[in-house]
Amino acid sequence: MKSGTKVKNKMAKIIAKSRFIPVSEPNIGREEKKNVLECLNSTWISSLGKFIPEFEKEFTKFCGVKHGIATSNGTTALHLALLTMGIKEGDEVIIPNHTFIASANVVRHCRAEPVFVDCDPETYNIDPKEIEKRITKKTKAIMAVHLFGHPCEMDKIMNIAKKHKLFLIEDCAQAHGAEFKGKKVGSFGDIGCFSFYGNKIITTGEGGMCITNNRKLAEKMQYLRDHHMSKRKRFWHDEVGYNYRMTNLQAAIGVAQMKKINKFIAKRRKNAALYNKHLKNVKGIRLPVEKKGCKNVYWAYGILLDKNFGMSRDKLASELRKKGIDSRPFFYLMTDMPPYKSNEKFSVGKDISRNGICLPSSSMTKESDIKYICDTIKKLAK
């Protein structure tokens, strides 16, 4: 080896070492700081203050629904929705097996049982064909989770819910702005739930929201979020409620984020197109899809490896890590983990859970980083 090449290689290693591309990064600008400072200066830092109704108004307008109930996080939003639907001990709620565990946990928080359904091999979302097989006399609701930013097949799922008189709840934590047949997710079911955690499409640090077009459900959620405090008689409570309120500080960030949400989504879609362009000819990689009539907001850019790739998912993750590239595996199946352990077969879920990996993609990801990531993957694939 010539000494010049040696030096070059050494330099490349140092650069790779100092480089770190996170899988996701929040996008916080001047407006967020200004709004938070305004809260601090005004001392309206708890769950009263002008930013909360403003954030609810902006977000519901964006989703095309009537009511928004901001919450402390996405998990409390889901729990609030199920409580409002009256889900209780002895009830069953149908949910996808491949999801973030909060979707399942909130069912248990109501002392009800989640019933798991396998996923669609293309979108990784709940497979509508499998839902009806799981409906029993105890079933009260279906939870559709729009995974990684791709909407579920809402027409089919709504028909099933209607036919069996079930509540429909949408977990939209990963899909702000995603559309099915021109309509935004969260507006199909009885209640749609969002998260504004730091890695979501918009963030409030921690935060969540329930949205609905049903005034009665909205009112119930407002009560339950605030200790079920009477609106006429202060400190009078007819029922056991919760403190699931969002703070003005969180909403202040949210209001600023809402001004940029369409830009954030456009950037994630651009990232996905760039990845697709660079990775489409690599053997053994299945790219994410955008089904006809759907708008995928690509919260995560998830690829699926098969035997032809020549390396396991975990090996790829560790090789990428050596080159300063962060990634994250798809979720473990709920039925593989102790709280929900079951020996039933979920063949689609098993494959994607084992072989799926999400690559860095957020509104902060640079085009040059995506090029570097794809080049690195292509070299490893050889």
Ligand X SMILES: *Cc1c(COP(=O)(O)O)cnc(C)c1O
Contact positions vs ligand X (CB under 6 A): 73-75, 99-100, 102-103, 145, 171, 173-174, 195, 197, 208
Q: Which is nearer to ligand X, 99 or 365 (CB)?
A: 99
For residues 81 and 285, which CB has a smaller minimum distance to ligand X in the complex? 81
Give the three-class secondary structure for 328: strand
Q: How far is the CB of 300 from ligand X (least distance, A)?
A: 9
- In the complex with ligand X, the residue whose CB is nearer, 35 or 125, is 125
Q: Is the dihedral of CA 281, 282, 284, 286 positive or negative?
A: negative
User: Which of 303, 295, 290 shows the shortest CA–CA distance to 373?
Assistant: 303
User: CB of residue 7 vs ligand X: minimum separation in angstroms?
Assistant: 45
Residue closer to ligand X by CB (options 28, 229) is 28
Q: What element of type H or E holds 184?
A: strand 183-184
* Amino acid present at 325: I
Rg (CA), the chain: 22
Q: Least separation, in Å, of the C-beta of 382 and ligand X?
A: 34
User: Shortest gap between Cβ of 105 and ligand X (angstroms)?
Assistant: 9
- What is residue 149's DSSP assignment? G
* Identity of the amino acid at 343: N
Task: State the residue number with the nearest CB to ligand X.
Answer: 74
Q: Among residues 120 and 369, whose Cβ is nearest to ligand X?
A: 120
Beta strand 191-195 pairing with 167-171: parallel
Burial class (CB in 10 A: 0-12, 13-18, 19+), 284: middle
Q: Which is nearer to ligand X, 196 or 309 (CB)?
A: 196
Q: How far is the CB of 344 from ligand X (least distance, A)?
A: 21
* CB within 8 Å of 39: residues ≥ 6 apart: 45, 49, 51, 248, 249, 252
CB of 378 to ligand X, least distance (A): 30
> At 113, which helix (H) or strand (E)?
strand 113-117
